[in-house]
Amino acid sequence: MATFVLVPGAWKGSWSFEAVVPLLERAGHTVHALTLTGLRPDDDRATVAAANLDTHAEDVLRLLDRARLTDVTLVGHSYAGMVVAAAADRAGGRVSRLVHLDAYVPRDGESCWSSTNEHFREVFAAGAAATGYAVRPPDGGDPRRRPHPLASFLQTIRLSDPPARIPRREFVYCSGWEDRTPFAALRTRLRADPAWQVHDLPTGHDAMHEDPEAVAALLLGAPHQR
């Protein structure tokens, strides 16, 4: 049986995987869904202001340590592609499968800010205007969303050279929001890279809520597309 660690994207908590977790557990797997530092309901302003990409990578590594996890399938949605890339690079071989679910796949020295498109840079800048350290969620969407630490969007990632070897790397491209997605060029890049498996889902960005069965099936090993 597999062990899954699910990491939510910007503004969200572990609840973003609430429809997927029982599907994986029903298949007999162990599932841990995280809420990152600064996104927890009881986090104070100082905690939000101080949290960055390194903080979030350490959240994942602490879970691996605390639960003594090995042979982990590490899944990151959206912004959390940055987080899982950093965590897997530092995990000392404990991650066997890395899944970027409509998520950034950074190279050394890149950040979420540098990797995204102009639409989302405008969202980040406008959302941080009130505090200078926390990006308010875009209008609409789930009311459980919380302001996201700006520093985590801006900090550049540092990856080992050569990068840590992960036996299985996968990217999931959600094709149902072509007007705003920052991942179209990334999909093209990874499809040309034999180290990656690329899957397409015909959903919007929030695939875990739009089609949790399809997300679970993919995580459970549905055939990939290139």
Query: 133 near 151, Cβ under 8 Å?
Result: yes
**Average pLDDT estimate for 79-88:** 98
Distance CA 142, CA 14 (A): 13
* Angle subtended at Cα 108 by Cα 106 and Cα 111, rounded to the nearest 5 degrees: 55
Spatial CA neighbour of 202 closest among 170, 166, 173, 181: 173
Is domain 3-219 annotated with CATH 3.30.420.40? no
Kindly tell me the sign of the dihedral angle through the C-alpha atoms of 6, 7, 10, 14.
Answer: positive
How confident is residue 161, by pLDDT bands cut at 50, 70 and 90?
Answer: confident
Asked whether residue 66 carries a pLDDT value surpassing 70, the answer given is yes
- Token pair 């009130």 in the structure block, residue: 130
pLDDT value for 162? 86
Burial group, residue 150, by CB count within 10 angstroms (0-12, 13-18, 19+)? buried
**Average pLDDT estimate for 124-149:** 97
**Average pLDDT estimate for 32-60:** 98
Q: What is the CA radius of gyration of the chain?
A: 16
Tokens of 48: 């939000």
Distance CA 26, CA 87 (A): 27
pLDDT value for 148? 98
Distance, C-alpha 141 to centroid of its chain: 18
**Average pLDDT estimate for 14-19:** 98
**Average pLDDT estimate for 73-90:** 98
Asked whether residue 221 carries a pLDDT value surpassing 80, the answer given is yes
How confident is residue 224, by pLDDT bands cut at 50, 70 and 90?
Answer: very low
How confident is residue 222, by pLDDT bands cut at 50, 70 and 90?
Answer: low
Query: Where does 155-211 have alpha helices with state H?
Result: 184-191, 207-210
* Angle subtended at Cα 94 by Cα 91 and Cα 96, rounded to the nearest 5 degrees: 115
